[in-house]
Structure 1
Amino acid sequence: MKRLTLTLLLVLGSALSHAETAIPPELTDQYGKPYSYESMSGQPLLLIIADARKLRWIGSWEKKLRRKLPELRSYRVSGVLKTPTPTVDEVAKVLRRWVPENVPIAIDINNYWATRFTLDIDQPCLVLLNANGEVVAKWRGRPKKALLREVLETLQPYFDTPTANTTPSPE
């Protein structure tokens, strides 16, 4: 019995470990087009994740970061905290109204990204992934001076190098 329990624990542990590193499902943007994290893997990437009601903070973070780091590669995600959960079409309609046409935002109705990285998306969250997809740093909050400075200092080595421009940002 002890051997069976130990075996089950090892199998469950392995499955949970794999689930944490599994590539998320492909999401669509506000225009119904696939907006895939996979297409950006293999290089450093900044995930910017916020509740759909906090979209202005995604834009604010992106503008302030790109002023200093034009080579920034980001994947923008709109999670949903509202209950009852709106449909993808309802969220897309809001995104199309408020977000510039050339800025795709993944619609994550099931909050896959927030769950995967244990994020409270009531405020904007940023997650820096290295080229291997490993978490380097996580931040939560608005782009105020102290936090903005900390984020920029951490991002600089990843996006301010000659190799950083090998793949253009998805804009």
Structure 2
Amino acid sequence: MSPRPPTPEFYTADSFTKEPSIGWLLRQIKQSMICQADKLLGAHDLTHAQWAPMLRLRFHGPMSSAALARELAMDGGAMTRLLDRLEAKNLVQRERSTEDRRVVMVSLTDHGQNAMARAPAVLSQVSNEHLAGFTHEEFRTLIGLLQRVVANGQAIRDGGNASDSSSLSCSTEDDS
């Protein structure tokens, strides 16, 4: 494992504001993309709360409800309520694990698979619209830079290399 690069001082407490903050900008981008995807997927009776876990199941296959909740940064109760709604719409099914009865496995039904068949095209459209005016080179550069930020975050989380963060547990989201 290679050592982490030195931490720069792009931000300081004296000059910190939300506008040029990477966290604020990434949040604004995420919210905009979710809003646009919701508009398009809403025509198919799917909300972000519904299509986000279904997208993970589409790409990663069946997973435990606890793992799904962790990936979406949701508490177990909220995940159970969401899965109840998705199950009532016949989009997902839950089954107890045969190896460990405490584990509930979640998978897409055939109806759920069909509903999610549209999602990659919609999410591609939304992503491309947000990248209007970018060249292929700029796009590749942006992806590379964001991957570095993600890798730095993982290194901090794994190595506890941020001030007083060793006791914090955080999860990440993807496929949005």
Normalising by the smaller structure, the TM-score range is: under 0.3
Query: If you compute each CA radius of gyration, which structure gives the higher value, 1 or 2?
Result: 2
Structure ranking higher on relative contact order (CA contacts 8 Å, 6+ apart): 1
TM-score (norm 1): 0.26
Structure ranking higher in strand proportion: 1
